[in-house]
A and B are shown apart, each in its own frame.
Chain A
Amino acid sequence: ETGVTQSPTHLIKTRGQQVTLRCSSQSGHNTVSWYQQALGQGPQFIFQYYREEENGRGNFPPRFSGLQFPNYSSELNVNALELDDSALYLCASSLQGGLTYEQYFGPGTRLTVT
């Protein structure tokens, strides 16, 4: 069974640029959620994708957008980067309609905006 993987591991971008982060979900999972974890804080829910559509969104502006592909992998796109976007971005996969409720997290992508 393959776990959740994310790429890249680290990324440095300049304010105003755009970035794309990638996530491959765990085998058998059909739902992907993205979280932002600022330094010293708990993860904050950005949005969730199920069947290639957004299935819930947290308190993040529209410049945060995502995609889910037929193989359930996902992308997180952030436009017009701001310094406060510097954080660890975590992807989590889960099975909607399944009997368990936990989400399985990837190792994260560390984004630094300068």
Chain B
Amino acid sequence: AQSVTQLGSHVSVSEGALVLLRCNYSSSVPPYLFWYVQYPNQGLQLLLKYTSAATLVKGINGFEAEFKKSETSFHLTKPSAHMSDAAEYFCAVTPGYSSASKIIFGSGTRLSIRP
């Protein structure tokens, strides 16, 4: 079975500060991992994905994440927060043997940016 745990339901940082959103996964098979962002009253937008190639993955809007198998982690970072980054962020996992399997989401982390 697969699952993801997002540590911290709410993270608040100052504009210009480092953003760190934590995600740990559990998977009995090699996982494919994703970060999605959801702005208020909108659907989900893919930020980045890990699919067993490079362990450091760069995404849109300056975000990146590093896959660490030894720590079963896939934390999301951004060096300098912008007000427009305020949103809900979801870490997600799917088994890496099928290109159309269901995606399992974490419970989400709400990111707030202080001026």
Of the four ranges (under 10, 10 to 19, 20 to 34, 35 or more), the interface on chain A belongs to 20 to 34
Chain B minimum-CB-distance residue to A90: B43
0 or 1 for each of A87-103: is its CB under 8 Å from B? (1 = yes): 00010101111111111
Chain B minimum-CB-distance residue to A97: B99
Q: Which of A11-19, A41-49, A61-69, A76-84 contacts B (4 or more CB under 8 A)?
A: A41-49
Distance, CA A40 to CA B103, complexed state (A)? 18
Query: Is B18 an interface residue, CB under 8 A from the partner?
Result: no
Given A104-B46, A108-B43: A31 and B100 interface contact (C-beta under 8 Å): yes
The interface residues of chain A lying within 8 Å CB-to-CB of B102 are 33, 45, 48, 56, 58
How many residues of B are in contact with the other chain, CB < 8 A? 26
The interface residues of chain B lying within 8 Å CB-to-CB of A101 are 32, 49, 51, 94, 96, 99
Query: Is B25 an interface residue, CB under 8 A from the partner?
Result: no
List residues 7-61 of chain B with CB under 8 A from any CB of chain A: 32, 34, 36, 41-46, 49, 51
The interface residues of chain B lying within 8 Å CB-to-CB of A105 are 36, 43-45
The interface residues of chain B lying within 8 Å CB-to-CB of A97 are 99-100
Residues of chain A at the chain B interface (Cβ within 8 Å) = 4, 6, 31, 33, 35, 40-45, 48, 50, 55-56, 58, 90, 92, 94-108, 110
